[in-house]
Structure 1
Amino acid sequence: MAKHKTVPLELINLNNDGFHLLVEVVVFGQSYQAVLDTGASKTVFDKETIENHVKSGELLASDRVSTGLGTNNMESHTIILPKMKIGKLKLKNFEAAVLDLTTIKEAYSILNLPPVIGVIGGDILNSHQAIINYKNLKLKLFY
């Protein structure tokens, strides 16, 4: 049987207009909340937050066109995160997309929700055969 890590999730109510699952991630040695997004093809982090932790040149411009998040042509960057943790699952040299997530951060603020650093997308969920348990608010990741 494959090894796995179980990670707690937090279910937040978007003013009775749906729900988001939040998961704790650790990047740059700091803990943040991220939205667990099965509809996102790639894990994405907020550009402003990432820029506070990296030297110029570590954030690489990307020629990929980013769609979703309310737009069809968003300036996109990538970063290689030397270390990233989701619960006790440790990822090394993880490549993530970096976008301006100001609109999401503002929406969360208006709803008095905790700030988020980004979204954990299908790249991680698929490669680690994620199982989301809404009843117990747990995420199981295999490795």
Structure 2
Amino acid sequence: MRTITVPLTLINLQDDGFHLLVEIVVFGKKHFVVLDTGASRSVFDMTLIKNNISELEYSEETQATTLFTTSSTIQAIIPKIKMGRLIISSYETVALDLESVNQAYDQMGHPVIAGIIGSDILLKYQAIINYKKLKLFLYSE
């Protein structure tokens, strides 16, 4: 099993808590995503998905539990997600509208996010978060 080390960015939410961000590459471009151990699964921004995937499946039922809420979702398959040296192929995702989250991040001077990495990916790759070193350790076969 090989260890993949990915740097993390800790952002302060106006002294009301913190979020960990991790940089990923999706659709050939770098994006930040929130690392959310409380999210049942990973989700991506609806606009990002609509702009990059032509075949989409719409649903009115929310199928992801995260720190962000939504009333409708889109299902799609992302061909490739790269997180450090980890490559995830054909990831079945749910897309949410993260516009209000990104507006709040922008007002606080933080980068916009393309999604949320949740427990599905974190569990599969046996994630270990080291806050002191601001590193995410993933394990891949």
1:93 is displaced (CA, Å) by 0.5
Which residue of the partner structure matches residue 138 of structure 1?
A: 135
Can you give the 5+ residue segments of structure 1 that lack an aligned partner in the other structure? none
Give aligned pairs, total: 139
1:31 and 2:30 matched: yes
Can you give the 5+ residue segments of structure 2 that lack an aligned partner in the other structure? none
Q: Within 1, Cα distance between the matches of 2:128 and 2:72?
A: 32
1:65 is displaced (CA, Å) by 2.5
Q: Within 1, Cα distance between the matches of 2:137 and 2:6?
A: 6
Measured on the aligned residues, the alpha-carbon RMSD in Å equals 1.5
Q: Within 2, Cα distance between the matches of 1:101 and 1:35?
A: 11
Q: Within 2, Cα distance between the matches of 1:114 and 1:138?
A: 19
Structure 1 runs of 4+ with >6 Å offset: none
**1:47 maps to amino acid:** M
1:60 and 2:63 matched: no
Q: How is 1:39-78 mapped onto 2 (pairs within 5 angstroms)?
A: 39-55=38-54, 58-62=55-59, 64-66=61-63, 67-69=65-67, 71=69, 74-78=71-75
Q: Which moved more, 1:127-136 or 1:97-106?
A: 97-106
Task: Assess, with a 3 A threshold, how the Cα gap between structure 1 residues 28 and 142 changes in structure 2: closer, same or farther.
Answer: same
Question: What's the TM-score once normalised by structure 1's chain length?
Answer: 0.90
1:110 and 2:104 matched: no
Q: Within 2, Cα distance between the matches of 1:43 and 1:3?
A: 22
Q: Which moved more, 1:58-67 or 1:76-85?
A: 58-67
Task: Assess, with a 3 A threshold, how the Cα gap between structure 1 residues 32 and 75 changes in structure 2: closer, same or farther.
Answer: same
